[in-house]
């Protein structure tokens, strides 16, 4: 049977990570917003079979595996619910500003800043609100503390953080990635066919995730206040209070 990216989507296996766009030939595949408010790949031109094969080898919807065996050591405990783990701690950012801005104690924000300021990485790849469309989310690179803080806070909407991941590997610079568990799974899959992943993507940080929300859920919130998306200057899901309230600000100075 001939493979296709469309089949992955129509069979409900796509989680919208965007890795397929990054792997495909330039201009042949693009992540697009569906009417349901989901980011899904759309074929602009016919994909060559080698690109389709690469996508099937790495897609976290078609390739579902646990932690690589070589990562499991004598220090590893295999929990029946959580799987392999070495240690579980509870913590929060020691910096009060980071803790206040973050969604759950600012842990990922603090770790990202630490990796940059200790020069362990040159940049952190994650997501942030689109400055031109604040309710929407786009891939984001942080190279400074200010960059990370600007993108702090969970995004409860569709995001494709791996949309340009292969192109980040082309930079040949050490970096960290922050994303959902399924995004990490996609990167682990890619590492099996591209040795640059383990060479340059040195830290994989993830969060507890209950699934990717649709953009329509946020649009329902706007409807409750009688607002249109093009009126917004801010749509913050969480943060500024740990977890903080959802906040909406408009171009004419109103806040909700």
What residues contact 211, with CB distance under 8 A and at least 6 apart? none
Please give the pLDDT value at position 150: 93
**Buried-exposed string 155-180: b where 16+ CB fall within 10 A, e elsewhere:** bbbbbbbbbbbbebbeeeebbbbbbb
CA atoms of 30 and 218, how far apart (whole Å): 23
d(CA 191, CA 253): 47
Q: What is the pLDDT of residue 27?
A: 87
Residue-level pLDDT at 213: 86
- DSSP 3-state assignment of 205? strand
* 256 residues of the chain, pLDDT tens digit each: 678 899 999 999 999 999 999 999 988 999 999 999 999 999 998 888 999 999 999 999 999 887 778 888 888 998 888 888 888 899 999 999 999 999 889 999 999 999 999 999 999 999 999 999 999 999 999 999 999 999 998 888 899 999 999 999 999 999 999 999 999 999 999 999 999 999 999 999 998 887 778 999 999 999 999 999 999 999 999 999 878 899 999 999 999 9
Specify whether the CB–CB gap between 158 and 118 falls below 8 A.
no
- Give residue 87's pLDDT: 87
* pTM for the model: 0.93
Q: Which three-class secondary structure string do you get for 147-184?
A: HHHHCCCCCCCCCCCCCCHHHHHCCCCCEEEEECHHHH
pLDDT score at 1: 61
């Amino acid at each position: 049977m001939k493979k296709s990216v469309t089949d992955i989507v129509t069979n409900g296996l796509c989680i919208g990570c965007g890795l397929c766009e990054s792997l495909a030939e330039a201009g042949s595949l693009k992540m697009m917003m569906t009417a349901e408010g989901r980011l899904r790949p759309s074929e602009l031109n016919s994909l060559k079979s080698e690109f389709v094969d690469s996508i099937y080898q790495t897609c976290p919807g078609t390739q579902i595996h646990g932690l690589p065996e070589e990562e499991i050591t004598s220090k590893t405990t295999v929990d029946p619910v959580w799987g392999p783990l070495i240690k579980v701690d509870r913590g929060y950012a020691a910096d009060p500003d980071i803790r206040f801005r973050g969604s759950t104690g600012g842990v990922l924000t603090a770790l990202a800043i630490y990796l940059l300021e200790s020069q362990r990485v040159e940049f952190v790849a994650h997501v942030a609100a689109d400055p031109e469309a604040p309710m929407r989310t786009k891939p984001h690179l942080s190279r400074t503390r200010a960059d990370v803080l600007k993108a702090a806070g969970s995004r409860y909407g569709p995001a494709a953080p791996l949309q340009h991941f292969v192109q980040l590997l082309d930079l040949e610079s050490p970096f960290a990635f922050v994303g959902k568990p399924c995004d990490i799974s996609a990167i682990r899959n890619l590492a099996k066919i591209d040795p640059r992943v383990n060479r340059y993507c040195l830290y994989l940080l993830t969060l507890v995730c209950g699934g990717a929300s649709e953009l329509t859920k946020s649009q329902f919130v706007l409807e409750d206040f009688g607002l249109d998306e093009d009126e917004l200057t801010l749509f913050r899901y969480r943060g500024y209070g740990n977890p903080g309230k959802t906040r909406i600000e408009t171009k004419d100075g109103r806040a909700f």
